[in-house]
Chains A and B, each alone.
Chain A
Amino acid sequence: MSRVSVPCHVKGTVALQVGDVRTSQGRPGVLVIDVTFPSVAPFELQEIVFKNYYTAFLTIRVRQHTSTHTPAKWVTCLRDYCLMPDPHSEEGAQEYVSLFKHQMLCDMAQVLELRLILRQPSPLWLSFTVEELQIYQQGPKSPSMTFPKWLSHPVPREQPTPLLEGLPDPSRVSSEVQQMWALTEMIRASHTSTRIGRFDVDGCYDLNLLSYT
């Protein structure tokens, strides 16, 4: 299914904490990230892709466009999705994650804004967030093709022009060319990634020192 990236504006993360951020001992365990789509009309969300960075649980709330004049309300579309099975250990900490439309609790037809609520209950980590956030909407369905006229309405068979002397039969040539084309397509389709096994360059393996890049 094709998908199209939607340009989004990711606002800075806001930490939710009880008490004063500066004086309290612990670090915030809840962060909120707002994602707006300033230049795009309300769209149907297809997929959310991001790279995790030590976030344990993710909740997503969405505000959708409603046709009536009631103000749009925030609805939870994903609740406590687990990104790290054990919040104290590294498993899942830096993984790439995709979330799809069908995993959401509600319909995502007219998305105006998203709010990502990140939770990391473990005090072991200094910070946590999600990175490389990308939102995708449904790509255009393959446009209905309009066939060129000569394909949909072939002209009736013409009389073939008389053969010039000495030239091969065109229908035979065309069938042979077709067979050769089919062979090249087969070779191209069965492309493998097996190596040949040469480690030298034209028989020469006289090296400098090892390079550090």
Chain B
Amino acid sequence: MLQEESDLSLIIAQIVQKLKGSNLYAQLERQAWASLQRPEIKLESLKEDIKEFFKISGLEKKLQNAVYSELSVFPLPSHPAAPPEHLKEPLVYMRKAQGSWEKRILKSLNSMCTELSIPLARKRPVGEQKELLNKWNEMGTDEPDLSLFRPVYAPKDFLEVLINLRNPNYENGDSLSFRTHLGLIQVPLKVKDIPELKEFFVELGLTTGQLGIDDSTQVPPELFENEHVRIGQKVLTEQDSAAAQQYVRQGSPTALRAELWALILNISSHPEDILYYEQLKTNVIQHDLLVDSLIYKDVKLTASNDDYYFVFEDYLYQVLLCFSRDTSVLSHFAYNSASPPKSYIRGKLGLEEYAVFYPPNGVIPFHGFSMYVAPLCFLYHEPSKLYQIFREMYVRFFFRLHSISSHPSGIVSLCLLFETLLQTYLPQLFYHLREIGAQPLRISFKWMVRAFSGYLATDQLLLLWDRILGYNSLEILAVLAAAVFAFRAVNLMEVTSLAAAEAVLADLSTLKVMPLLQIFLFATVT
């Protein structure tokens, strides 16, 4: 049909435009020119011969992976009449809510800046630069005085904003009727119900083998595990992103996980990437930002206190400090409902040539932000690769967990999905918790905002994140949250206060994620 063809050519043009500036494009061009020397390339059939050459040398695969990566990350081109804000977030009231939330964050940061009389950014003197360079690998030993700093916001502040989110065109009557939401979220977004989730997560079904279930010690490895590992190795040899994404839906073997995730996220370690990371490191050494102190504080408060992650403290600084200097992260704001904070060079207020973003990557860290990086330290030990993986995970998934949007993987939809699942399939539990003043979302919100990092045991967390990558969606976080409540339902029915409910759900470190998900989705009698 006419419309679909023109849509397709628009998508192709957009992807070509994006790939043109990349290393891969330069590589393909170079190889194409070099291949002209080869005897099998003939002038009469130049196009086909070069295409064949690309196929054999593996470059076609790399191009396929790059295109697949673009398709997974960037949304489809929208209607030509739609303004850029529409691509960030189609619903006007959500854009406004995100705007006012951002204003609050900026005010908070500005007041911290003026109260403590610390500049937002400062060029380091040469002596300090040398000192930092010397102890780059052990920044954790540094004990700066951070007592005056406080995190800009915590997840519970964000939850209050989401609770107060209202659609002005929606019937928000005071009297209870069929249109009132019984949970905390009051916006009518479309969320999947269990039949749709069963279809979406079909590979988690009872008859399909899973790592996390079918690799336990009681199950002989010949039944599933050996074959699965063999297939995984084959996927890695083929270097196919799409196949890897499909593969990890059933879990990834520990030995192959690092490479598989790098393949799915289309990260390869070229010298240019290592050079880019070194450049970011230089930027950290040259300029000191207020945001750095926030990062230090966050790491000290969260990851350093965690039994599993405290060993990675130095890595966390190396990744997060560089992350805040990385301007390539700014491009994700095209599809993120949030916008990067703006500022002007001192003395040039209002002049657009002196407008800059602060921090350079536009992302202000909140309490718990470093927990997005911590689990990745188990997989990657080389700082530039760890950095690239984290950056890609952030611009694909994690940014949705702390911005207000109507996207199905956005935190608002996840909260609504969690509450809807709980109400529909555990109505007695939901009613009981609501009656005692313990709305379930108040407990599960912090799990979902951190993608369960720091709450589950690390092997279980990595199995969960396998599925996030495999399905390219964060909805599994809401399903797991509901499954945890279902698992502890008996205990929860006996509590009589919010504090007691929190206590029942305080420790998730013994939970096995995959059996919980499987039972909740496929084995619960509805």
Chain A residues within 8 Å of B, Cβ to Cβ = 49, 51, 53-54, 85-86, 88-91, 93-98, 100, 102, 123-128, 132, 134, 190-195, 197-201, 204-213
Contact = CB atoms under 8 A, between A and B. Distances in A.
Contacts of A206: 119, 121-123, 345-346
B90 A95 contact: yes
A97 B343 CA distance: 36
B17 A192 contact: yes
B171 A208 contact: no
B17 to A, nearest CB: 7
Contact of B86 (A96, A126, A207, A210): A96
Contacts of B123: 204-206
Contacts of A193: 17-18, 21
Q: Max chain B CB contacts within 10 Å: which of A86, A127, A195?
A: A195
Contacts of A190: 20
A209 B343 contact: yes
Nearest to A196: B327
A46 to B, nearest CB: 12
A54 B406 CA distance: 15
A108 to B, nearest CB: 15
A132 B190 CA distance: 25
A98 B345 CA distance: 44
Contact of B356 (A85, A205, A209): A205
A195 B346 CA distance: 24
Given A96-B78, A199-B325, A200-B356, A126 B170 contact: yes
A200 B279 CA distance: 14
A15 B328 CA distance: 50
B2 A100 contact: yes
A190 B26 CA distance: 12
Contacts of A208: 120, 343-346, 349
B188 interface: yes
B357 interface: yes
B493 interface: no
Chain B binding surface SS class? mixed
A90 B91 contact: yes
A205 B189 contact: no
Given A124-B171, A124-B179, A201 B345 contact: yes
A206 to B, nearest CB: 5
Given A124-B188, A125-B171, A199-B327, A207 B344 contact: yes
27 contacts: A51-B81, A89-B190, A90-B167, A90-B190, A94-B90, A94-B92, A95-B90, A96-B78, A124-B170, A126-B168, A127-B169, A128-B169, A134-B81, A195-B328, A197-B328, A198-B327, A199-B325, A199-B357, A204-B345, A205-B356, A206-B123, A206-B346, A207-B119, A207-B356, A210-B110, A210-B120, A211-B349
B99 to A, nearest CB: 10
B353 interface: yes
A20 to B, nearest CB: 21
Q: Max chain B CB contacts within 10 Å: which of A93, A100, A213?
A: A93
Given A193-B21, A212-B106, 16 more contacts: A53-B169, A89-B189, A94-B92, A125-B171, A194-B22, A199-B283, A205-B123, A205-B287, A205-B356, A207-B119, A207-B358, A208-B343, A208-B346, A209-B113, A210-B106, A213-B342
Interface of B: 1-3, 17-18, 20-22, 78-79, 81-82, 86, 90-92, 103, 106-107, 109-110, 113-114, 119-123, 167-171, 179, 187-190, 276, 279, 283, 287, 325, 327-328, 330-331, 341-346, 349, 353-354, 356-358, 360, 406
Contact of B187 (A90, A98, A205, A207): A90
Contact of A91 (B81, B190, B344, B360): B190
Chain A binding surface SS class? loop
B291 to A, nearest CB: 11
B79 A95 contact: yes
Contact of B331 (A53, A192, A195): A195
Nearest to A85: B190
A123 B179 contact: yes
Contacts of B90: 94-95
A97 B119 CA distance: 47
Nearest to B17: A193
A211 to B, nearest CB: 5
Contacts of A212: 103, 106-107
Contacts of B353: 201
A209 B114 contact: yes
Contacts of B20: 190-192
Contact of A123 (B167, B171, B325, B328): B171
A90 B327 contact: no
B218 to A, nearest CB: 44
Contact of B82 (A89, A96, A134): A96
Contacts of B188: 88-90, 124
Contact of A102 (B2, B169, B276, B346): B2
B346 A210 contact: no
Contacts of B190: 85-86, 89-91
B356 to A, nearest CB: 6
Closest 6 CB pairs of A and B: A194-B21, A192-B21, A199-B360, A96-B79, A89-B190, A91-B190
